[in-house]
Amino acid sequence: MTTAPPVPQTTRHPSPAGFPPDFVWGAATASYQIEGAVSDDGRTPSIWDAYAAEPGRIRNGDTGVVACDHYHRYREDVGLMRDLGLGAYRFSLAWPRILPGGGTRPNPAGLGFYDRLVDRLLEAGITPWATLYHWDLPVEIEQAGGWPDRATADRFAEYAAVAAAALGDRVHHWITLNEPWCSAFLGYGSGIHAPGRADPTDALLASHHLLLGHGRAVEAIRAHAPGSQVGITLNLYPVTPADDAPASAALAHRLDGLHNRWFLDPVFRGDYPVDLLDDLDGLLPGDWCRPGDLAEISTSLDFLGVNYYTRHNVRSSPYPGVNAAEFTHRGLSRAANGWEVDPDGLVEVLTRVSEEYTSLPIYVTENGSAWEDRVAADGSVDDPDRLGYLADHLDACARAREAGADVAGYFAWSLLDNFEWAEGYTMRFGLVHVDYASQVRTVKASGRWYAQFIAAHRDGILAP
């Protein structure tokens, strides 16, 4: 990275001085999205292997069979992180590598990969942040009922104990779940994510059991990796009415309930939102939430992880059912996947969480954008839109800090271009471009800018 870093083409120019000396600068990935090597060293299929193999599920029939081949190229990838100056790397563990077949017997070869990765990170001076569940449930556990089945919370706690016992001597930052809203509502509600089931009761039960598993996993991590920092990552959105109609305001409140409060309230207040419980009456069986569940779910944490991408603007429409909500846009620029670029929404989310829910440190554990990158003849990738998005959202973090939110770190999504779930390889979020045919990595202009920003922050701290 010797060429001059680019200048963000954006109205906002965040200053490294807007962040405290111990601010954590990172990037994030997830196992199925980058690792490949789906049959190596005893790994068995997850629900994403099964789902991706079903015709018509994923754009272009893409799968994670090879992905970024990170399983074999992790040394090179850690080298890229070191060159970028990252202080932390957030990755996820593949459950079926560690406990193949959804069983209880740890797989030394699967754990060995994460051993090597963690050791390499530490040698490079990069702090490992491990996420236990970024969506790769072993297929056998899905066949036994999956997340709608309460027993899956127990399986998850067992897995957490194994992972923490194996890695907890070196991994001191743990995230239990990534975006349980997606696991529950996309995986079991709309079916556009694995395992592809579409039943509202299953989705709600899945959400409760994911949260129960989270609470139990926190305790398992604390038992096996004492002294660790433990948190959960939620994907949060401001939900804003798009017009002045009272029905739109009511709809926005309801969707805010399903997206945000359904997870924030039980984790931080030990209760589900009453308005939603009224709304969902009849969808849930009588014993879905048992005595003691909410106490487990609201066990104390060390931090909250927030993933932020965009805002939901919604207005009420005259149509019934799911069509009653019409999602609109504010006329802001839109990324390749259609998501509006709305950094003010990040300020709103961070300040809301810190004012209404928790005084714990908040880490932005994912934030990023997909654009149609072009590789120039000289091999470089100039990505001014991603760079502008990054600069604007770092500025949003600084603004949220000024407003009083304890934003303690930022992880760009993503380190590498990768398998974007139902969109396959069509959406590129990386700071580093991946040529999937050759597996050549190229740091994009946004990555070079991020490296420069991190270095300027460090140099500001070191300056006398």
Residues that bind ligand IFM (CB under 6 A): 30, 33, 179, 307, 366, 413, 420, 429
Pair of tokens at residue 209: 């059991």
- For residues 51 and 272, which CB has a smaller minimum distance to ligand IFM in the complex? 51
**In whole angstroms, how far apart are CA 215 and each of 95, 201, 324, 428?**
18, 21, 34, 33
Q: Does residue 179 have an active-site annotation?
A: yes
- For residues 338 and 379, which CB has a smaller minimum distance to ligand IFM in the complex? 338
- For residues 68 and 220, which CB has a smaller minimum distance to ligand IFM in the complex? 68
Is 134 labeled as ligand-binding?
Answer: yes
Catalytic residue among 35, 142, 179, 296: 179
Fill in the amino acid letter for 273. Answer: P
- For residues 179 and 395, which CB has a smaller minimum distance to ligand IFM in the complex? 179
Looking at the DSSP assignment, which residues form a beta bridge with residue 90?
28, 129
Helices 445-462 and 384-402 pack at an angle, to 10 degrees, of: 40
Is 309 labeled as ligand-binding?
Answer: yes
- The distance of closest approach from Cβ of residue 413 to ligand IFM in the complex, given in angstroms and rounded to an integer, is 6
- For residues 27 and 30, which CB has a smaller minimum distance to ligand IFM in the complex? 30
- The distance of closest approach from Cβ of residue 351 to ligand IFM in the complex, given in angstroms and rounded to an integer, is 21
- The distance of closest approach from Cβ of residue 135 to ligand IFM in the complex, given in angstroms and rounded to an integer, is 7
Is 33 labeled as ligand-binding?
Answer: yes
Is 178 labeled as ligand-binding?
Answer: yes
C-alpha angle 141/142/145, rounded to 5°? 95
Q: Does residue 366 have an active-site annotation?
A: yes
Q: What is the distance between the alpha carbons of residues 174 and 126, in angstroms, rounded to a whole number?
A: 15
What strand order describes the sheet that includes 312-316?
A: 239-241, 312-316, 325-328
- For residues 307 and 446, which CB has a smaller minimum distance to ligand IFM in the complex? 307
- The distance of closest approach from Cβ of residue 428 to ligand IFM in the complex, given in angstroms and rounded to an integer, is 11
Query: Which of 109, 102, 135 has its CA nearest to residue 37?
Result: 109
Catalytic residue among 35, 296, 348, 366: 366
- The distance of closest approach from Cβ of residue 20 to ligand IFM in the complex, given in angstroms and rounded to an integer, is 26
Is 13 labeled as ligand-binding?
Answer: no
Fill in the amino acid letter for 154. Answer: D
Query: Which of 76, 55, 79, 232 has its CA nearest to residue 160?
Result: 232
- For residues 136 and 395, which CB has a smaller minimum distance to ligand IFM in the complex? 136
- The distance of closest approach from Cβ of residue 183 to ligand IFM in the complex, given in angstroms and rounded to an integer, is 10
- The distance of closest approach from Cβ of residue 92 to ligand IFM in the complex, given in angstroms and rounded to an integer, is 9
Detail the residues annotated as belonging to a binding site for substrate. 33, 134, 178, 309, 413, 420-421
Catalytic residues, by residue number, are 179, 366
Detail the residues annotated as belonging to a binding site. 33, 134, 178, 309, 413, 420-421
